[in-house]
Amino acid sequence: MSRTIMKKINTKEISEDTWSSPKGKFASASKDISVALGRKPLSTDLKERHPFDVEITRIPPRQTPYPYHSHSAQWEFYHVISGKGIVRDEDGTTPIEAGDAFIFPPEEPHQFTNDGTEDLILYVVADNPIGESSYYPDSKKWLVRSPERRLMRGENLDYYDGEE
């Protein structure tokens, strides 16, 4: 009988990936906990891919990390660790602060903005379905994740096309 050995990491030791859109409208940073624990994002083997994905997202003051979007199949759970911000959804905006937890099911558009003066830090847990795609209502485009992982309206587009 083979035994699986627990994989342990410390999130303080995970390097933070930062990004910004070309015109600076969108910016954020994250620590991909699942990858640090051995997740292989492009694998179709759930033992390598993991059935859920966990990250720590840090949104600097006055920043929004992503365009307003929805997922075709993915559920996303959020827990605010520190800071304050707002969440945009189909009903408008809702303030969020440390301790708040909420979830977005598939097809429910959402977007976060840090409207505070300190970093907004969230845990994000997503169920990571294979074949997931996203829709961007403001620019009316789709992100097709498989097999080519490309954005489209009818032609191949840049990720931020129509967003800034």
Name the fold adopted by 14-37+50-129: Jelly Rolls (2.60.120)
Of 98, 123, 104, the residue nearest 34 (C-alpha): 123
Strands 27-32 and 111-113, bridge-based pairing: unpaired
Mean pLDDT of the chain: 90
User: Over 90: is that where the pLDDT of 130 sits?
Assistant: no
CA distance 9 to 33: 8
Which sign, positive or negative, has the C-alpha torsion 79, 87, 105, 58? negative
CA distance 13 to 16: 9
How large a percentage of the chain has pLDDT more than 90? 70
User: Over 90: is that where the pLDDT of 33 sits?
Assistant: yes
Mean of pLDDT values over 56-64? 98
For residue 67, name the pLDDT band (cuts at 50, 70, 90): very high
pTM over 0.75: yes
